[in-house]
Amino acid sequence: MDLGLQGKSVIVTGGSKGIGLACARLFASEGARVGVTSRSSANIERACAELGGAFGLAADLTSADEAAAMVDAMESRLGPADILVNCAGAARRTPPDELTPAAWKAAMDAKFFTYIHVIDPVVKRMAARGSGVIVNVIGNGGKVAAPIHLPGGAANAALMLATAGLAAAYAKQGVRVVGVNPGLTNTERVAEGLRADAALRGTPEEDALRQSLSRIPLGRMAEPEEIANAVLFLASGKASYVTGVTITMDGAQIPVVV
């Protein structure tokens, strides 16, 4: 299927590894002009070496100023952003009895504001031009309150609300905003979460993984490329009437009607 992404200008935050890198790889294969950003210069160099012609830039997106400068640099190099995919940031998993107000704030900085700081300038520029798509890769922790992921889950829930609200606010200006909620996905980030869960429960990591997989009807984790396939479709003109929703991809682990 031709998704019509040839020549599109695409910014992928968190694009140096995991789901973000998988998204960047697929956009590049469709002929898009791709820019990736991450906090780590080393990770950016590795990603750009793999991606070939992609433009990479290290930035700390918890800073609104750095995020705005990153957007300016990306658009100067790639042209006005047609598509923004947000994958950057992850909140630390913390047992409930170790939570403090600082931990809650850190989670919002790490997950919520890393998205908002980039969305804010981009969505306004897209609206001024009359077109654009923003895809937020969020996480099902915003719907299910996991004991060791409460601050991060709260940040995810806030992002889902922001996704729906911004979609409604900017629909008349031709901008679509959608979300994707991956469940367990075969990435370093999920592996870290499983280690934290195992430590909290006092069980071996292998048992934590086995128990997690047993709760997924499909019987396995998602691969990053599977999430990326959905992101590319949502970012394309084939999904031109999809906006204001966050789609769960968790292998039917949480079978709810929304």
* Structure-derived torsion over alpha carbons of residues 7, 247, 168, 64, reported in degrees to the nearest 10: -70
**Residue 41 and residue 57: Cα distance in Å, rounded?**
7
3-class SS string, 108-126 = HHHHHHHHHHHHHHHHHHH
Tokens of 156: 């995810």
Amino acid (one-letter) located at 65: D
Q: Which domains does the chain have, with CATH numbers?
A: 9-183+222-239 (3.40.50.720)
The position carrying tokens 């409604």 is 168
Q: Cβ contacts of residue 92 below 8 Å, gap of 6+?
A: 103, 106, 107, 110, 151, 152
Contact 107, 155 (CB under 8 A): yes
Which pLDDT tens digits describe the chain residue by residue (258 residues)? 689 999 999 999 999 999 999 999 999 999 999 999 999 999 999 999 999 989 999 999 999 999 999 999 999 999 999 999 999 988 787 878 888 999 999 999 999 999 999 999 999 999 999 999 999 999 988 888 877 789 899 999 999 999 999 999 999 999 999 999 998 888 877 767 677 666 666 777 777 778 878 889 999 989 999 999 999 999 999 999 999 999 999 999 888 776
- Taking the whole predicted model, whether its pTM rises above 0.75 is answered as yes
Tokens of 73: 């640099």
